[in-house]
Structure 1
Amino acid sequence: MSIQDIIEGKKRWRDHMTRVKALPKDYQIVYKEIQKYLFKVGPVELTDEKGLLSGIVDLFEGGAVLGKGVLEVTGSDVAAFCDELIKDSQTYADINQESFGQKVNNHLKED
């Protein structure tokens, strides 16, 4: 990753967070909790330009424009909302499990 890539990534993140800060307060609160949850769970394609967090902001902006409360958009179980969003996404945990399994199998084959 080049310095230019890092700079561009930071710019995109600042632009993204500007969009979040423009949301109504209830949406901002739920977004921040979703962000924490997803950072812990670790889907791989979380922060790229067309990634999951950007899609959530798109959804939230649409809900806010329609005058909906944030829980009307996500449902009352926000964790279940998040889990549904990432159910088919590869996570860092998946990558680590695959790597671990390959290492164990390689060691067993060597013996």
Structure 2
Amino acid sequence: MNFWETITGSDLTREFKAFESRAAALPDDYRAAWEQIKAHLFPHGDFTGRNLMPILDSALGLLEETAADGQRIDEVLGDDVQGFCTALAGGEGARTYRDRWREQLNRNVARKLSRLGG
């Protein structure tokens, strides 16, 4: 990955298109689960989503492997797709991008207030 790709995110676009082409080969129920996985994981991403790429790659690999084995999607993910994604992202209470932004805003406000008060 070069500097230009890092700045523009073109490497992420290329990688995400590769994920989508891999997902297109999955059975319908697996594709629906892939869409749910993406939706539940994106709040755990950083600003660019770069930190989610290995997680998405692993999740898609799991779906590909289990589809090839002929397993049903509910055998793989269970009934709680959101819980599965939470576990992938680091467990219950894993920080989302909103949490990180809120903490940064609170630090900045506290720093400005301390300068005004002292």
Q: TM-score range by the shorter chain?
A: 0.7 to 0.9
The equivalent of 2:104 in structure 1 is: 99
TM-score by length of 2: 0.76
Q: How many residues align?
A: 107
Contact 1:43 1:91 (8 Å CA) reproduced: yes
User: Identity over aligned residues, as a percent?
Assistant: 27
1:28-47 to structure 2, matched below 5 A, reads 28-39=31-42, 41-44=43-46, 45-46=51-52
4+ residue runs over 6 A deviation: none
The equivalent of 1:63 in structure 2 is: 66
Cα distance, 1:62 vs. partner? 1.4
Distance 1:86 1:3, change over 3 A: closer
TM-score by length of 1: 0.81
**Helix, strand or coil for the counterpart of 2:59?**
helix
1:109 matched to 2:114? The reply is yes
1:1-80 to structure 2, matched below 5 A, reads 2=4, 6-39=9-42, 41-44=43-46, 45-46=51-52, 48=53, 51-80=54-83
- The range that moved more, 17-26 or 29-38, is 29-38
Contact 2:30 2:63 (8 Å CA) reproduced: yes
Amino acid at match of 1:91: T
Cα distance, 1:20 vs. partner? 0.6
Amino acid at match of 1:22: A
Contact 1:43 1:90 (8 Å CA) reproduced: no
Amino acid at match of 2:44: G
Gaps of 5+ in 1: none
Q: Give the whole-Å Cα distance in 2 for the aligned partners of 1:98 and 1:33.
A: 28
- The range that moved more, 63-72 or 84-93, is 84-93
